Copies of this chain bind each other. A is one copy, B any other.
Amino acid sequence: MKPIQVGLLGIGTVGSGTYNVLLRNEEEIRRRAGRSIRISMVADLDVARAKSVVGSDVEVVADARQVIANPEIDIVVELIGGYGIAKALVMEAIAAGKHVVTANKALLAVHGTEIFAAAQAKGVVVAFEAAVAGGIPIIKALREGLSANRIQWLAGIINGTTNFILSEMRDKGLDFDVVLKEAQRLGYAEADPTFDIEGIDAGHKVTLMSAIAFGIPVQFDRAHVEGITKLAAADITYAEQLGYRIKLLGITKRRDTGIELRVHPTLVPAKRLLANVEGAMNAVVVHGDAVGTTLYYGKGAGSEPTASAVVADLVDITRLHTADPDHRVPHLAFQPGQLAATPVLPIEDVVTSFYLRLQVADQAGVLAKITGILADRNISIDALLQRESAEGESKTDVIILTHDTREGDMNQAITAMQALPTVLAPIVRIRKEELS
């Protein structure tokens, strides 16, 4: 049978990996897919560099639209990234009747609804395993492997840069700024690390997972996103003393009133496998009503791990190339027309437990006032740790772990506590999840 012809838009890190994996494992992949899968055309602005990556049998052009216009191309792989030209090209490829494989989480988290609708109308596939957690087949697990379940929640370490930084901060007791510089030097963080350290990248990924877990549209604009830039080494240490580690998690949860969708630093019990995912590794925990808790772990980025996901999508499409479009796995796990209008809850309505750190004056009655404010709002205390103040010091740290609390109530309590003259610095508040 004629090979499946793939056109690559952009041949940077992931594109090179995809080319190399397809070439190296050609025989193995053909035995699985039933047909050879070949990259026969590549578009990249840097034609010379692109030519140095691929063999002479691959046509290299500068203009991506030549790839899309080529009637020989069955599948277009978009690896340009971003919302701009990438969006236009994906829409044009769909319009040209091409299947699309993309690693572009930003594009899908923001414009997914429009893109999937266009693909549905045209009867083509838009596959995006590579967009979340690199080579871990988590999209497939959610969309197919756990399809029996009413998924209750999922929580993931889905940004390697921030997990590397947090691991280093804990291991070496260093502050964020110092570790970020080190991460940049080692290539774990980009020159402009904003998307990673502000949690935006994790927000894109958890938005996609939330859609396919709960059967709701992708809606990144509703996600609550906090990064790790304000995290102090002291809080990592206190958390450790209380039996917790701090991870940047993407979390989405089903509640009676809607869906929680959020990214923020989170205290996780140290004994959970997720708390022990170190360095640049990724892991996602999914809790379904039938299966219970499952976990998926692996490399979340890098040339060949991400290529592994791109090529898996190519194999899926090749295997089902001729299947009736109505009998393919739906893009968002649920059938189009079957997406629910369940609202994404505002962050004030999210319920979690909390870690609070208060710098207070070391004098009588302080704790009584603080605990009184919490009690007034029915916020119940799970654990309290007061550091002994050092010789001659007139202030100390109080650490409080609460039970589950509505975030809006906690905000009010924090405002009230912050107003106390005996509270000497901005109160630190980090959410906590037991993930059991």
Contacts and interface: CB of A to CB of B under 8 A. Distances in A.
A330 to B, nearest CB: 7
A144 interface: yes
Given A34-B335, A140-B140, A141-B141, A147 B292 contact: no
29 contacts: A21-B149, A28-B149, A31-B340, A32-B215, A32-B334, A32-B338, A33-B147, A34-B330, A34-B335, A135-B292, A137-B294, A140-B144, A141-B141, A141-B145, A144-B144, A146-B312, A147-B316, A148-B311, A148-B314, A273-B273, A273-B277, A288-B308, A291-B309, A294-B298, A294-B299, A295-B296, A296-B296, A320-B320, A323-B324
Interface string A44-67: 000000000000000000000000
Given A140-B140, A308-B148, A333-B32, A297 B273 contact: yes
Contacts of A2: none
- Chain A facing B: main interface SS: mixed
A76 to B, nearest CB: 18
A257 interface: no
A150 B308 contact: no
Given A21-B148, A276-B273, A305 B291 contact: yes
Given A140-B141, A288-B308, A327 B319 contact: yes
A305 B290 contact: yes
A313 to B, nearest CB: 9
B324 A329 contact: no
Contacts of A201: none
Given A149-B25, A328-B319, A308 B290 contact: yes
Interface in A334-357: 334-335, 338, 340
Contact of A276 (B34, B150, B276, B329): B276
Given A21-B148, A273-B273, 4 more contacts: A25-B149, A135-B146, A292-B299, A296-B297
Contact of A312 (B144, B304, B323): B144
Nearest to A31: B338
A17 interface: yes
Contact of A297 (B148, B215, B297, B305): B297
A321 interface: yes
Contacts of A33: 147, 335
A305 B30 CA distance: 33
8 residue pairs, one from A and one from B, having the closest CB atoms:
A137-B145, A148-B311, A135-B291, A294-B298, A291-B308, A295-B297, A31-B338, A290-B308
Contacts of A319: 327-329
A388 to B, nearest CB: 33
A407 to B, nearest CB: 28
B290 A307 contact: yes
A33 B147 CA distance: 8
A221 interface: no
A16 interface: no
Given A144-B312, A148-B315, A290-B135, A335 B32 contact: yes
